[in-house]
Amino acid sequence: MYTIIDLETTGGKFNEESIIEVAAYKFDGVNITDQFISLVNPQRDIHPYVEKLTGITSDMVQSAPKFQEVAKRIIEITSESILVAHNAQFDYRILQLEFKRLGFDFSMKSLCTVILSQELLPEQESYKLGRLSRSLGIPLKDRHRASGDALATVELLKILMEKDIKQGIIKKSIVEFPGESISSIFKKAIENLENTVGVFYIYNKNKKLIYVDYSKDIKNKVVKLFTSKKFIPKYVQNNFKSIKTHKTGNVEIAILKAIQEIKSLRPKINNNVDPKLFYKIDLPQVISDKKNFIITFSGKKDDEKGFILFKDCKVIGYGYFDLFNNINTEKKLNSRVVKVDECKKVKNYVYRVISEKRYKKLLTLDEIYKFSGIE
């Protein structure tokens, strides 16, 4: 038995959102056997972007029940079933957040139709619900409203079940939520890790990359990943086979590398890194003034330094050097640079690093080419 759910929220800062609409459909694999649809009073403002996207206004939810008044019904309709959602990590996180505010833990088996679609419908150009529905001929009414999106997800699940005749892939994709004990395979993996800053990559039994993340302390981060009850960690736990790490020497380059790796390698669980790191920030004046320069950080070794390179006010990439003569010409400097795509996330993050002066030195390229040492 499945319960397909979709939530609309107030928007705003991460983990400060509240539900404004919920739709849940109990599905036995053939028919919908129960349903629950309701607006919810979030007791806080709805972000203007969300109002425009969903059409749900603060006036509409003013007289709606509060979450504590619909919580029991949500528990009833999801009981003895597998929670299904398109981008389940979002809906599961929001439900956990709302129940935590009431003093309760929310935990159940879950299935993400984004992940399942990537597995069973690899030919699709996009896995966003709207585009996927159009491609598959699924009627999608009231887009960005809970009921419309949830009903489309029901139809999508039917198609996926038809594709997976023996239900083997679906069963493997169900995220279990057992206790917090670390299994022997996790313990062995953890034993080989170091308490170091960098990026780590997790692979499944088919040697496919499923997860990429960064950390100031890789070993500690992985321990938390293997014991968490949240959706993404549980998916990783259920599918874990091996882990690889890449030391960066500093968290600034680790974050840049993680952004690029996620974008280019497209791991199955596309961890987006902490969104708080990428809030929009204006171009720092020093970038406009200096234009062509590097900012330096700790390196991977004691006698090494990391750097981020700017040319014509743009983020070009990052690299490392141990002696100044490694980078004292343009050719040498460029040979040590790992180029990055200057997307919005990269710009906002690096702008923040510079604004908060989270670097050791700022040196113009003219200075680098003239002088003979960097302390």
Question: DSSP for 128-148?
Answer: SHHHHHHHHT----STTSHHH
Q: In the predicted model, is pLDDT for residue 291 greater than 90?
A: yes
Of 37-46, 135-144, 179-188, the one with minimum mean pLDDT is 179-188
Q: In the predicted model, is pLDDT for residue 324 greater than 70?
A: no
Task: Judge whether 296 and 353 are in contact, CB under 8 Å.
Answer: no
Alpha-carbon dihedral angle through residues 321, 322, 323, 325, given to the nearest 10 degrees: -20
Question: What integer pLDDT is reported at residue 78 of this predicted model?
Answer: 96
| Number of neighbours of residue 352 by Cβ within 10 angstroms | 18
CA distance 249 to 300: 4
Of 41-55, 86-100, 183-197, the one with minimum mean pLDDT is 183-197
- Stronger pLDDT, 308 or 263, i.e. the higher one: 308
Q: What pTM value is reported for the model?
A: 0.67
Q: Which pLDDT band holds residue 374 (cuts at 50, 70, 90)? A: very low
Task: Look at residue 236 and give its three-state secondary structure.
Answer: helix
CA distance 262 to 268: 10
- H helices, E strands: number in the chain: 16, 13
Question: What integer pLDDT is reported at residue 178 of this predicted model?
Answer: 47
Percent of the chain at pLDDT exceeding 70: 95
Which pair of structure tokens corresponds to residue 20?
A: 């404004």
257-284 tens-digit pLDDT: 999 999 889 898 876 666 677 778 889 9
Structural domains in the chain, CATH included, are 2-173 (3.30.420.10), 184-271 (3.40.1440.10), 278-370 (no CATH)
Q: In the predicted model, is pLDDT for residue 372 greater than 60?
A: no
Alpha-carbon dihedral angle through residues 273, 274, 280, 283, given to the nearest 10 degrees: -70
Amino acid at 106: F
Question: What integer pLDDT is reported at residue 375 of this predicted model?
Answer: 41
CA distance 121 to 127: 9
Task: Judge whether 7 and 146 are in contact, CB under 8 Å.
Answer: yes
Amino acid at 3: T
